[in-house]
Amino acid sequence: IQPPIEQTENMKAPHFVLMVRQQLEDELGQAVVGRGGLTVKTSLDWRIQEKLESEVTSFFDSGLPAAANISNTAATGEDTQSGQIVAMVGRRDFNYPGFGQDNATDAYIQPGSTMKPFVYASLMENQGDGNQNYGSGSILSDENIDKMYGAQLRNWDNRFMGSITIRQSLALSRNIPAVKAAYLAGNGSAKTSVDYIRKVGNTNYCKPEEDAGGYGLSAAIGGCGSKQLDLINAYGTLSRLGVEKPLSTVLEVKNSQGETLKKWKDEGEQVMDPQVAYIINDI
């Protein structure tokens, strides 16, 4: 019996490998996985994995993260056509003291402005109160909405730009038009946008806040917890013009008798209007 850190010594892509093992234990049972003898073919592309690990190391060696008070990172690469994970770095270094073994790609972290494309897509599909068609040229004024929001809300540059289009709002990452979009899509609530975000692949968005009592319009600008893996999945849906596919890590599992216990299937579902996905991608 060895301590966990010795079991993983010299393991390649340790965060990915340990995640796959946990997934197989959940699906096949601890007894089946624990007995050993399984042959597991995963989706990992070692060439991409090496490149990703090298970039992360170079990033921290540059000194830029420390200058910006950044102590950690996580990154996931997906083959968007299949939904397969081809590379994953769960922390800046698996052996980093204190938190190296924790896989941040599966942790709830506020995703900020990365949610805005899906909020605008939600408005374009749901059309608010039904009296107006929203598209990339629709105007959502960038103005003071503190009374509607219930707290002070500002843009990153602390100014208002007035009458600008959705295309400009998303391209310039304005907070106020994004909150307005969620407000209009849900008739005053962010629920419609959050439900939409979950439907297109980010299945756990705002779950911690929901379990703790609820979330507000800040969900439109990433004010809720999201797992990186879920966020990657939602962006994959955008890239496939609205077809959602579950993220996958395992292509095939066989036991010691050569019997196939698990095999990947290319399955997807159209969950977003392809025209809306096209418009958001174009922006």
- Longest Cα–Cα distance of the chain, Å, equals 68
pLDDT of residue 74: 95
Per-residue pLDDT tens over the stretch 150-197: 999 999 999 999 999 999 999 999 999 999 999 999 999 999 999 999
**Three-state SS sequence of 143-190:** CCCHHHHCCCCCCCCCCCCECCEHHHHHHCCCHHHHHHHHHHHCCCCC
Q: What confidence category does residue 5 fall into, taking pLDDT thresholds of 50, 70 and 90?
A: low
What pLDDT is stored for residue 130 in this prediction?
Answer: 59
Query: Average of pLDDT values for 59-68?
Result: 95
pTM of the complete model: 0.91
Percent of all residues in the chain with a pLDDT value above 70, rounded to a whole number:
96
pLDDT in the model for residue 154: 97
pLDDT tens, position by position, 196-245: 999 999 999 999 999 999 999 999 999 999 999 999 999 999 999 999 99
In this structure, what token pair is assigned to residue 218?
Answer: 């800040």
pLDDT at 213 (0 to 100): 94
